[in-house]
Structures are given as structure tokens and as C-alpha cells.
Chains A and B, each alone.
Chain A
């Protein structure tokens, strides 16, 4: 254990590793702070860069981008009243009124401190939980893994977007895309139409770049892009650290919100936005002055910012212990892990313990970078917020092409990225959520391979899927998630119907 930990220090504290984590944190902060340009885009673009790095710096780069992006969303939320990322939407409610009241510096400083607290707290919970979950998961066979992936997948489809049907359609589309190419078990070409380029299938990384970056570029280039233009004049801000008294007065709130964030993050398909709104609601309910919420109460910044950063540790629990990514950002981290030979799951801790501990240290380093960068470089982000979105979109376009090309040095990947990106833009416009597509693509091959392996092991007998209690439990949970989501949608519809009838009368 100690030996692995010392090795991990050696891996994480190299100049390249520290620089990569710092670069990721900076890029994440910048992308996170620009409304419309999410850190998922930054992650998709950072992934090809990570190929040339060793495992720990590469994953550090990706996690730095993820963590920086999650924290950076608060900058525009507080200063402009526009959340840089969906997870910062709840921060607007009290963060922007604080700016209007002349307390922008305190809001920014507090947001950074509580973000780091939430992140480190969730990391500790994650380290303990990952070990426990892995010990349980080590006994899983193909049938159990199939059931587990099916459960994770149904949760993602059920909880993403506003319509269960559209969420499931999105997931099935992702699964279908991943069946294109050479079948891994029998070597049979599937839906390749005789094209040599399609034999390798649709590259996951190319698809990720297309799915997340191209819709942003199209929207930025559209004439009547509705996002408000960044005002030229912005308060000359610098973050002001909150007093110890303020921090200690809210320490229990921070711990409670960290637990909410970590718990929500551990459920696939939920994410930062849900966690931050739940934490905000929780803070308001238990506040001594609930009437001041929405008017610039500091607790309204502390709660969502602690929770959304605590999500980062939570999402890593199913990712590292079971190989199930909870959101698109962790799906990209998963791709990064696999490229560097770190296959998540119980075996990861036996085969690559040093690298895993190195990743834990990288998370701490990322938070240190975020803290330093945001406290010292806030003026840079304010300048970045002044750059027109269209110009940033041109830069993103070039980075997308570099990213797609560098994966296999193939122009075919650039064409695929363009086609997938435009299709994603249309899908988003018709309210099909993108997250289940990407997770369908990530989990699809595992789902199919584990089912086929289980069937081969049982020589075609399906009882392998109902004799194991673990499998049955996962199937019941999957059915429950879908059933409950469907029921809540039906209830919401009947309520709307009743409202319409009353207003007609």
C-alpha cells in the first residue's frame, strides 16, 4: 500500500504531470466560464492531446479540465447572471444579486473556497467507496456485469431530458451506432456497406467531439443566436477570500451539500445541475433567513457551488469501480483511461494501484491549481468573457478538426465528425438528449459482449439471467427506474390536462 502510494507521488509530481494538470485546470476554467461553451467540449478537445502523455499526466489533464470547468461556471453566473455551465445555474439565483449589491468579489472568493472544499470532501468519500464497491464487484461474472450495465444505462436514459421516450430513443441510437463495424467476437462486418473506413466502426472520440463541439459552433454562427451578448463594461473584480468566521458558520451546510453532491454524482445520469439545485433548495429550507434567498444570500452561493464540485468525486465512484460513466464528461475520462491501458473495474486496483493513487493525487493537485488560478487570474477570465462567442467558435472549429484528425490521421474521421455534429445539432433542437447517445456508445460494446459471453457460458440457457440474486436485483432496479420515471411523466401530463380543463371552463 505504502509502496504504491510512494510510486503514485513519483508519477503525479513530475513537472510534466503538474503542468498537464495545470493546463487542464486553466482550459477547464476558461471553457467553463464562457456561457454555451461547456467543459465537455474542452474535454473532448483535450482527449487527443492526452494521447502523447503518460497515464497519470494524461488523466490529470482530463480531470483538471473537468474540475476547472465545474468551478469556472460560477464566474459568469456571478458576474453576468448567465451560468457558464448547467451546474452553475443555481449559483445565478444568489450570486448575481450579490454582484448587483456590490459583493461580486466576496461571491467569487467564497465560490472558489467552497468548490475546493466540496471537491476534496467528495474525493475522500470516493476513495473509501470505490474500494468497497470494487470488493463487491470483484465476484461479478458476465451475467452480473450485463445486468449492471443495463441498470446504469436505464438510469441514464430515464433521468436525462424531459421525456422518457426521447431519452430511451437517444440511448438506442447510441447503441445502434456502436454496432457499426467489425463484430469483435465473430469478425463479421455489420452495416459497413463495403466501406473499408467503416470496418473500424464509428470512432468514439470522433463522435464525442462532433456531438459536443459542433452544435456549439453552429449555434454561435447562427444569426439570431439568443444567448445575451457579453456586456463590454464589467465590474473590475478580484476575488475576496471569505473570513474564517463566515466559513466556520457555514461548515455544516458545506458538509451537507458535499454529501448531497457526492451522492447525486454517484447516480449515473444525474449530474451537477440536479445536485446544485437540490443543495440550494436544502440550504433555503434549513436557513434561518429563507426570505433573503434570491436577493444575494451568501448561503445561496455556498450550497450549489459546494454540491456541484462534490459531484466530481461522486461520478468517479461508478466510473473507477464499475466502469460506468455517469455523464458525458466522465465518459470522456473513461475513454482516456482505456487509451492508456487503465480499464476501470475491480481489476484496476490490483493491476494499476500506483496509477490509481496517482489519479487521486492529480485530483488534489487540480483543486490546488483551480484555487490558485481563480484567485490570481480572475482578471484573465473577465477578459475571456469579453471575447465574442463567434470568434471563439472559429478557434473551436480548428481545434475540433485537429482533434478528430489526430486520432487516426484520417480525413474520414473529420467527415464523420462533421456529419455526427450536424445530426447532434438537429437532435438537440428536437429535444432528444445527447447524453444517452454518448453513454450508449460507451456502454454498448460491454452490454453486447457480456450478454454473448454469458450465453456462451450457459450454452444458450437463459436461466443464467434469473438464478443469480445480483442479476435479479439489477433487473428489478432498472425496471423500477424506468417504471417510476414513466409514472411521474404520466402524472405530470394528467396534471397539465386538468389545468387546461380548468382554464377552459
Chain B
């Protein structure tokens, strides 16, 4: 996708966000009472309108500029404008799953499961030594440093609690 097309999609999505945001603000937040009280609504409303104006400006710039021949890539840019949807989606699921497991099974059980899964699925590592060494080693190291040395609470499970 060229930078221009990407900016067009981005501008449209932001405009939609601005409209929905502004409508929700007007609908759900009461205005101020006047006489110096501008109320809780004013700032979210102004920000929504600003976002709308800026998105429109972005869209106008895209429409007015000449079509590009090649995708906009910069060798110095750390992301090069390519979105890797699959790893992004997987990370979202894995971290959310990690959060759920932390609540139910606690840190000591949740961490090796998640690390094992991430290394097996995302990194396609098949070496049992590396998989188990990393998942158990990392869990143990974090538990010792954070829970025992620094006294930071690392979640005990509500279903299974092994401390």
C-alpha cells in the first residue's frame, strides 16, 4: 500500500472516530453551569472537534497531492510502514490470555505456559531444551527478583494458588 492510500484510510478512520467521539461526548457528558464553570464536557468536545478538523486536513492533503508511483519506505525507519497483522493479533491474544491465566492460576503457572506457547508458536522454536529452559528459567528468575528480592506482588491464582 502506498503512503498516500494509507494516509487516506487513516484519515477516514480518524474522522469516523472524531464523529463518534463527539456524538458520545454530547450524549453522555453534562455541560457546565456557566459563570466560569465550563463543565466536564468542554475539553473532550473540543478535542473531538480538533481531531475531526485535523483528519479532514489530512484527507484534503491526500486528495490534493499527486499520486505516488512506489510505496513510501525509508531505510532508516524502524518499521518501514509494513503492518504485520498476524504477529500483532497473536500478541494481543497471548497477552490477554496471560492476564487471564495470571488471575486464575497465578504467576508461577501462567508464565511458563505463556512463554512456552510464544516460543513454540511465534518463534517456531522446536528445541525442547531451549523451550523448557527458557520458560522455567525466566519464570524462576522473575519470581526470585520481583517477588522475593523486591517484594512486588506477582499474582496468586484464584483457581490454583501455589504462592
A residues contacting B by CB (< 8 A) are: 36, 48-49, 51-52, 89, 165-166, 168-169, 172-173, 175-176, 179, 183, 185-186, 188, 190-191, 214-215, 217-219, 221-224, 226-227, 390-391, 394-395, 397-402, 405-406, 409, 411, 414-415, 417-419, 421-422, 425-426, 428-432, 447-448, 451-452, 455-460, 493, 497, 500
A165-B57, A176-B51, A190-B29 are known contacts. Are A409 and B91 too (CB-CB below 8 A)? no
Closest Cβ of chain A: how far from B88's Cβ, in Å?
5
Given contacts A165-B54, A460-B36, is CB(A430)–CB(B66) below 8 Å? no
Given A49-B152, A406-B152, A418-B95, 7 new contacts (CB under 8 A): A52-B150, A168-B50, A172-B47, A218-B88, A405-B102, A411-B102, A429-B82
Residues on A with C-beta less than 8 A from B103 are 411
Complex Cα spacing A36 to B78, Å? 7
CB–CB B83/A394 < 8 A: no
Which of B50, B55, B57, B138 is within 8 Å of A398, CB to CB? B138
What are 30 inter-chain pairs, A to B, with CB distance below 8 A? Answer: A36-B78, A49-B152, A168-B50, A169-B14, A169-B51, A176-B47, A190-B44, A191-B21, A219-B79, A223-B87, A224-B82, A224-B84, A226-B80, A394-B119, A394-B123, A397-B91, A397-B94, A398-B115, A398-B138, A399-B142, A405-B102, A406-B154, A411-B102, A428-B79, A430-B7, A431-B3, A456-B37, A457-B36, A459-B35, A497-B66
In the complex, what's the smallest C-beta–C-beta distance from A309 to chain B, in angstroms?
A: 22
In the complex, the answer to whether B24 meets A191 with C-beta atoms within 8 Å is yes
Query: In the assembled complex, which residues on chain A have CB atoms less than 8 Å from the CB atom of B119?
Result: 394
Please classify the interface of chain A as helix (H, G, I), strand (E, B), loop, or mixed, using the class held by over half of its residues. helix
Taking beta carbons and an 8 Å cutoff, which residues of B are in contact with A? 3, 6-7, 10, 14, 21, 24-25, 28-30, 34-40, 43-44, 47-48, 50-51, 54-55, 57-58, 61, 65-66, 76, 78-84, 87-92, 94-96, 98-100, 102-103, 107, 111, 114-115, 118-119, 122-123, 134, 138, 142, 146, 150-155
Instruction: Give every chain B residue within 8 A of A399 (Cβ-Cβ).
Output: 142
Given A183-B40, A397-B95, A402-B152, A165 contacting B58 (CB threshold 8 A):
yes
Per the bound structure, the CA–CA distance linking A188 and B32 in Å amounts to 11
The listed residue (A223, A422, A430, A500) touching B81 by CB distance below 8 A is A430
A448 and B76 CA atoms in complex are apart in Å by 37
Quick one: closest B residue to A182, CB to CB?
B40
Partner of B150, one of A49, A400, A425: A49
A397 and B87 in contact (CB under 8 A), knowing A188-B29, A415-B99, A460-B36? no
Residues of A within 8 A of B7 (CB): 430
Q: Given known contacts A172-B51, A426-B88, is B36 in contact with A448 (CB within 8 Å)? A: no
A365 to B32 alpha-carbon distance, docked (Å): 51
Closest to A225 in B: B84
CB distance from B92 to the nearest CB of A (A): 5
